[in-house]
Chains A and B, each alone.
Chain A
Amino acid sequence: MTNPNPAAAPAADEAAERLAATSAEDGRPIRSGWRMLLPTMTPWLAVGLSLVVGITLFGLIGPFLVGDPEQIRDQGLTGPSGEFWLGTTQTGQDVLAQLAHATRGSLQIGFLVGVLATLLSAFFGIYGAYKGRFVDEAFSLLSNVFLVIPGLPLIIVISGFVPRESRGLWTIAVVLAVTGWAASARVLRAQTLSVRNRDYVAASQVAGERPWRVIMVEILPNLLPVIASQFVFAVIAAILGEAGLSFIGLGASNSSTLGTMLYYAQNGFALSLGAWWWFIPPGLIIAMFGTGLSIVNFSIDEIINPKLKNLRLHRKRARRAARLERQLTRTASADPEVSDR
């Protein structure tokens, strides 16, 4: 990632910055209310979002556009060609078609686990912290225990025991969710504790609102960015976790995910045969999707922790100042070739 030409990076930044700066400079009113909960569109966020959206679309629509991923052809292992953009596997199956279906499978797992884990962590984190005292103690003990019990070995042990009929997508999702919710429950608990002591929460409690209403109306909106960020983490972890499990042959049976694809590629000696088109793309999709989500998460982080955002704004201002200064000196030296930026 290190750029050999240091000038290039700021240049790219600036281009995007001008876009962002227009709103900042025009003296528009400071964003408030719900809009504070939306991330600022930065170039990084744009990159992240387009990765996530692109791969999601590929997983959603792709399977309808490609051929049958199971179709066997006598040609065997061949590289990318006009007919098969990503080549074929050992048995002549279309890698692109498999990739589309596998991406869908992985997204499905990721989404399922994300939702399940977020629900679990929201329940144990928010409800526990809101109720306080014994419930809080018990819940946070539970989440701490789950946090320290190593997840993957536990998953491996459990998957080793679960019979195949029940080892479908859902079981794997449940297992991944059950072993993965604890960390976010801790984060949510901490956030809830700080929110619940605010005056307006106390006020609505005094006003006799029922607990679930207080949580839903007064507390939850404040936690949305945190929940969103934990959800994103859960999705990344789930996709990676499932890929790892499938790779060692313990994943969801009869389903096609990026992990199983890698498993077959590895067992078909894809790398040793130089069949990069079979081995590289599944891993790359996981990596790209994960990166995209992480980048989106940075932006969410900025909402949760405004200091991070201040940093970015501060940095931007500093750079603008430096540039102005530079321009001024250049114009002062009356160089006619100054660009008209």
Chain B
Amino acid sequence: MSYFLRKLGFYAIALWAALTLNFAIPRMLPGNPVDILLAKLQQRGGTVSPETREAYALLLGGDDSSPLWKQYFDYLGNLARGDLGVSVSYYPANVSDVISQSLPWTVVLVGLSTIIAAVLGVALGAFVGWKPGTWLDSLVPATTLLAAVPYFWLALILTYLLARVLGWFPLQGGYDVTLTPGWNAEFIGSAIHYGFLPALTIVLASIGGWLMGMRNMMVSTLSEDYILTAEAKGLSPRKIMRSYASRNAVLPSVAGFAISLGFVVSGSVITEQVFSYPGIGSRLLSAVQNNDFALMQGVFLFITLAVLGANLVVDMLYGVIDPRTRARS
């Protein structure tokens, strides 16, 4: 049982660290949202008279002059109540509303493509590791190349070829905006059509890691004694591969899944920007560009929470499926 307690304790600390980091970063460095708002207004051809400046300074409020420790506890208190503050760039919308609008898109896109990449990568990796020396071995350098390619560069080239030149997929967006989002075949079909290219990019760029990891584990596992025993028993190779080798070799990949989730969420920030995808990553970037501190913090917090949560779930699962983990701790 102490394994689970330890893990929970660890995640509690990680959560606290993330929250504190989130609190500290904006306070360490300067920036003035009023100026950014005004500059934005000017760029759009709006009239910015001295009165406008005063009006907005008034609207957004001045600096909070209460002591730092008080700000910190207020911040934690507000978080506990689910209050992430007000977004400056979408004023007067709440940060949590802004985020909840975009979150499902990212979760579905990133979640699905990560699962597809993991399943495909592990399956292929098991195969490559099981049958070394076949043409499948050439998958190894191929996926290495894919993993070393900059995400967004690949995304842009794919878009250019598949969407621009061939016209098979839409260039941008999350769905056909003439449809109303909902649980109907038309909308879901459209969302899949629009999400295909972003998903393909994520899958292509992340599949290599899975494949390599699984292949290496498979190779290591194959020289274990129990495989020899199984072979000696005269079991069919297929059965050995499925029931003995893969099952043991896949364990580290399960652990890796959680960690990779973090990387994929990160990478998808840029992918979303490239495809004008309505997810949380594009919100993060626009928040950065607009000095919208509250929104920046909120998005960062949500991403962190998602990754922590996924890790926690995987860790718990891992403890259940691999008894050695519990014994060791």
Partner-B contacts on A (CB < 8 A): 1-3, 6, 9, 44, 141, 144-145, 147-154, 156-163, 183, 236, 240, 243-244, 247-248, 250, 259, 262, 266, 271-272, 279-280, 282-283, 286-291, 293-295, 298, 301, 305, 307-308, 310-311, 315, 318-319
Q: Is the CB of B150 within 8 A of A244?
A: yes
Distance in angstroms between the alpha carbons of A272 and B157 in the assembled complex: 10
From DSSP, what is the main secondary structure of chain A's interface residues? helix
B299 interface contact, C-beta 8 A = yes
Chain B 267-289, CB-CB to A under 8 Å as 1, else 0, gives: 10110010000000000110110
Interface residues in B, total, Cβ within 8 A: 61
Contact A310 B223 (CB under 8 A): yes
Collect the chain B residues with CB atoms within 8 Å of residue A163's CB.
29-30
Q: Which residues of B contact A (CB under 8 A)?
A: 10, 13-14, 17-18, 21, 25-26, 28-31, 132-133, 135, 138-142, 144-145, 147-154, 156-157, 160, 164, 216, 219-220, 223, 259, 262-263, 265-267, 269-270, 273, 284-285, 287-288, 291, 296-297, 299-300, 303-304, 307-308, 311
**Bound form: Cα–Cα A161–B140 in Å:** 40
For this complex, 6 residue pairs linking A to B, each with C-beta atoms less than 8 Å apart, are A152-B266, A247-B152, A280-B157, A283-B149, A287-B145, A287-B149
With beta carbons under 8 angstroms apart, the residue of B25, B135, B266, B291 that contacts A150 is B266
Assess the A153–B148 pair: CB atoms within 8 A.
no
In the bound complex, residues from chain A placing their C-beta under 8 Å from that of B157 are 271, 280, 283
Q: Which of B18, B216, B284 contacts A308 (CB 8 A)?
A: B216
**Given A44-B141, A156-B284, A291-B141, are A305 and B148 neighbors across the interface (CB < 8 Å)?**
no
Most buried by A among B135, B148, B220, B223: B148
In the assembled complex, the Cα of A156 lies from the Cα of B267 at a distance in Å of 11
Instruction: Determine the main DSSP class of B at the interface with A.
Output: helix
Minimum distance in angstroms from B159 CB to a CB of chain A: 8
CA distance A221 to B297 in the complex (A): 43
The residue among B142, B148, B153, B285 with the most chain A CB atoms within 10 A of its own CB is: B153
A262 touches B153 (CB 8 A): yes
Are A289 and B285 within 8 A (Cβ)?
A: no
Determine which of B17, B141, B152 lies in contact with A244 in the assembled complex, contact meaning CB atoms within 8 Å.
Answer: B152
Given the interface pairs A153-B265, A157-B288, A294-B144, the reply to whether A9 lies near B135 with Cβ below 8 Å is yes
A151 to B157, CA, bound (A): 25
In-complex Cβ contact of B132 among A159, A294, A311 (8 A):
A311
Instruction: Known contacts A141-B13, A311-B219; decide if A244 and B138 are in contact (CB<8 Å).
Output: no
Given A3-B138, A262-B150, A272-B164, A151–B263 Cβ distance below 8 Å?
Answer: yes
Across-interface contacts of B164 in A (CB, < 8 A): 272
Q: How far is the CB of A160 from chain B (nearest CB, A)?
A: 4
A6 to chain B, nearest CB (A): 6
Chain A positions within 8 Å of B300 at CB level: 153-154, 157
Closest to A259 in B: B150
Compute how far the CA of A298 lies from the CA of B141 in the bound complex, rounded to whole angstroms.
10
Q: Report the minimal beta-carbon distance from A137 to chain B, rounded to whole angstroms.
A: 10
How far in angstroms is the closest Cβ of chain B from A146? Answer: 9
A179 nearest in chain B by CB position:
B266
Whether B30 lies near A3 (C-beta < 8 A) is no
Kindly list the 3 A-B residue pairs having the minimum CB-CB distance in the complex, ordered from nearest: A290-B148, A152-B266, A283-B153
Which residue of chain A has the shortest Cβ distance to B208 in the bound complex?
Answer: A294
**Residue ID in chain B nearest A6 by CB atoms:** B135
Residues of B within 8 A of A294 (CB): 144, 147-148
Given contacts A240-B150, A287-B145, whether A247 and B135 have CB atoms under 8 Å apart is: no
Contact A157–B296 (Cβ < 8 Å): yes
B269 touches A240 (CB 8 A): no
Are B270 and A244 within 8 A (Cβ)? yes
With a cutoff of 8 Å between Cβ atoms, the chain A residues found around residue B26 in the complex are 161
